[in-house]
Amino acid sequence: MKKFETFTGIAAPMPLVNIDTDMIIPKQFLKTIKRSGLGVHAFDEMRYDRQGVENPDFVLNKPAYRDTSILVAGDNFGCGSSREHAPWALADFGIKVVVSTSFADIFFNNCFKNGMLPIVLPQEQVDLLMADSERGENARMTVDLEAQEITTSDGDVIKFDVDPFRKHCLLNGLDDIGLTLEKADAIQAFEAGAAQARPWV
């Protein structure tokens, strides 16, 4: 996994609540057996009409937002299915950070596994970032994971929380499986105990 480094990018406003994984990546694009190449299909049904022509009103189609790397979204972002195609599509589009008042659990987990950072903030701060993101290209936010800070285009600094273990993995680009396999002894010991206690499993 690539290391998560401090970056400055364009943020796009998506104030809709309950943006679900079917909206982020509709099922017809789940038939791939690869992880890459889904970016062109991100938000497909909002982004294109049936003939594949871009909807000019959709935020990511507007000239100011074509290079968006931060989404500022309404409550409960990523609800619905477990499809990791959702963060794959966002990451492939170039999104590195999603900010919202809350996220669905599985989507939230999936982001970290793909080098993306979902940030939960209180309503007032999301509102502030939402307003900033409405300024398009004129607003460039900086996300510093090490310091746990977002700096708005006006220089306001917003602090955010992140789980220390996940932060460590993102900053160092660590692969979960490799980390877990270092604990192979603990897993084996558990298996031996469980085989005694619950042999029917």
Residues of the shown chain interacting with another protein in the complex, contacts defined by CB under 8 A: 15-18, 20, 22-23, 26-28, 30-35, 45, 50, 74-76, 79-84, 87, 102-106, 109-110, 113-114, 163-165, 176-177, 180-181, 183-184, 186-187, 189-191, 194, 197-201
Interacting residues of 44 by C-beta distance below 8 A, sequence separation 6+: 25, 26, 29
Minimum distance from residue 60 beta carbon to another protein (Å): 17
CB-nearer residue toward another protein: 43 or 140: 43
Rounded CA-CA distance 68/11 in Å is 6
Minimum distance from residue 168 beta carbon to another protein (Å): 10
Minimum distance from residue 157 beta carbon to another protein (Å): 26
For residue 79, give the nearest of 95, 101, 96 by alpha carbon: 101
H-type alpha helices, 2-159: 21-24, 44-47, 85-93, 105-112, 123-133
- Tokens 């558990």 found at: 190
Minimum distance from residue 67 beta carbon to another protein (Å): 26
CB-nearer residue toward another protein: 22 or 144: 22
